[in-house]
A and B are shown apart, each in its own frame.
Chain A
């Protein structure tokens, strides 16, 4: 980093929303073509840094067995070969795991939103005893290492015959997504204008009616943002999934990827299939990211910087 880059905040404090025309104009006047070129070179390097491993995985997944295992490495998949995808989708273990992940992540997201959103609303708008204690509790859970509770949960679920049951995963996922849900929505509720709620109550609405008629519709975008974040977190969970699900058709996608042995047991490192499975598991997340990047970023940073 050199001085010209460090002085950038001078000119470009526009938020993530493009369109701060004045600042763009000043910069155009001041920075030379060379500076522009260096800037875009650095940005390009950063984008490559972020995407390269993913692109390499995609690249490998499109190669046939004979082109994957070559020295020196062949970079262009020629011919493009979908055999790996074909194989993994005929692997019931893998297709089951996708469905299991979908069920667990969706259920955990829905339950967490349901109980988290009302909790966030109460924390943002209502006065009641023990509020600070609850804030501290939620905060504490966010920092909690899952390992500290996994032993007792494992024994309890065993005793209740809950292992290999979706609830064994949904419950811990709800617990660990709650803090994210409560923070994101708490920050969101605080930003809603109070006046609307107050005038609704002057008109005779009860708190609950105000919440359902006024707050809930206004909160829909915030709830949607939270839903994306929670789903990604639950979809990616590994520690509990690995421990509480042991039957082959009950594994989640993360566990299936981690234990991947492939359709063909004889080949020891089925990298073509592993990379194909990795792409399939990542695809929903990458799509969410591409479609909702602004929401995700505002949701992720809202709790952290605005506090």
Chain B
């Protein structure tokens, strides 16, 4: 199947993986938040295209939720949190960018190998979406592992959730109720995490999660 339908879906899903890599590359918080908003935008485009292809109007709602909540509300909220915490100039990574990139490439290759083997008989569009979705999820996890700043860990978590939505739309038939409840639980998670951020900062004067390890006596 090599029509325009497939090519456009491929382009958006591949773009999502690319934006995930851009997030790994950014080490400034504001730039990271902008790239995260871009990822949500690409996700909403991809979901809207799937809605058009699959002729499933409820996916338009999913796209709208992704656009409004993730591309606008959450980045703006995180922007304000970063501004209030006064940490916009902090640059913190555990391992270097180059090493992270290599690990990311390895994860993408792994998810392609796994997904293309496992989903042998499925529709090409769904297979390809699943493979990319797994890469986005793994890259989000990698982001959470390689960052020490709590705000970038939140961004990693949110981008992981973007990958889940991509997988769900590709698989055909996620009910709208599930989608809405997932969206709201993410929003609530953001609020909870936001409160935690201020608590962590109040207690340790930093949002570097290394401070938590030290408080538990795990590292000197």
Binding partners A and B? no
Q: Taking beta carbons and an 8 Å cutoff, which residues of A are in contact with B?
A: none
